[in-house]
Chain A
Amino acid sequence: MTGLLDYQPGSSPLHKAHPLVKLLLAVAICVCGFLADSIYINIIILLLIVLCGARCGLARQIRATLKGMGALCAILFILQLPFIGSGRVWIDLPLGMTVTDQGVRFCAQLCLRLIGATLPLVMLFAVTRLSDLTNTLVAQLGIPYRYAFVLTTAVRFIPVLLGEMREVIEAQTARGVELDVGVLRKIRLIPPLCAPLLVSCVQRMENNALAAELRGFYLRKRGSGYRRYPLSGVDYAWIVSCVILLTISIIL
Chain B
Amino acid sequence: MIRLENVSFELSNRPIINDVGFRLEPGAFAALVGGNGAGKSTLLKIIMGLYRPARGAVYIDGEATRGMRVSAIAKKAGFLFQNPDRQIFGATVRAELAFGLAELGISSEEARRRVEGTLERLGLDGSRAPMSLSRGERQRVALAGLFARRPKILLLDEPTTGLDYRECMQMMRCVAELNEEGATILMVTHDMEVALDFAPRMLILADGQLMAQGLTRDLMRDAELLERASLMPAQIVALSARLGIAPGEADDVDSLTDWIAARRAAKGGTAR
Contact = CB atoms under 8 A, between A and B. Distances in A.
A177 B79 contact: no
A180 to B, nearest CB: 9
A65 interface: no
A174 B79 contact: yes
On chain B, which size bracket covers the interface? 20 to 34
A170, A173, A175, most chain B CB atoms within 10 A = A175
A191 B103 CA distance: 14
A85 interface: no
Contacts of B89: 191-192, 194-196
B12 A1 contact: yes
Interface in A137-185: 167-168, 170-178
B245 interface: no
A196 B87 CA distance: 6
Contact of B100 (A173, A176, A203): A176
A176 B131 CA distance: 22
A200 B85 CA distance: 7
Nearest to A192: B89
B71 A178 contact: yes
Tell me the interface secondary structure of chain A in the complex: helix
A172 B87 contact: yes
A219 interface: no
A128 B142 CA distance: 42
Contacts of B103: 175-178
Interface string B28-68: 00000000000000000100101000000000000000000
A187 interface: no
B86 A175 contact: no
Given A195-B89, A196-B87, A200-B86, A170 B71 contact: no
Nearest to B104: A176
Interface string B1-31: 0000000000110000000000000000000
A174 B88 contact: no
Interface in B59-98: 69-71, 74-75, 78-79, 81, 83, 85-89
Given A170-B45, A192-B99, A199-B131, A176 B85 contact: no
Contact of A175 (B11, B45, B69, B100): B100
B208 interface: no
Contacts of B70: 173-174, 176
A170, A171, A191, A200, most chain B CB atoms within 10 A = A171
A220 B95 CA distance: 47
B50, B86, B99, most chain A CB atoms within 10 A = B86
Given A176-B104, A192-B89, A170 B50 contact: yes
A195 to B, nearest CB: 3
Contacts of B74: 173-176
Contacts of B145: 175
A178 B131 contact: no
26 contacts: A1-B11, A1-B12, A170-B86, A171-B86, A171-B87, A173-B74, A174-B50, A174-B70, A175-B74, A175-B79, A175-B99, A175-B100, A175-B103, A176-B70, A176-B75, A176-B100, A177-B71, A178-B71, A178-B103, A191-B89, A192-B99, A195-B88, A196-B86, A196-B87, A196-B89, A203-B85
Given A176-B71, A196-B87, 11 more contacts: A1-B11, A168-B87, A173-B74, A174-B48, A174-B74, A175-B79, A175-B99, A176-B100, A176-B149, A178-B69, A196-B85
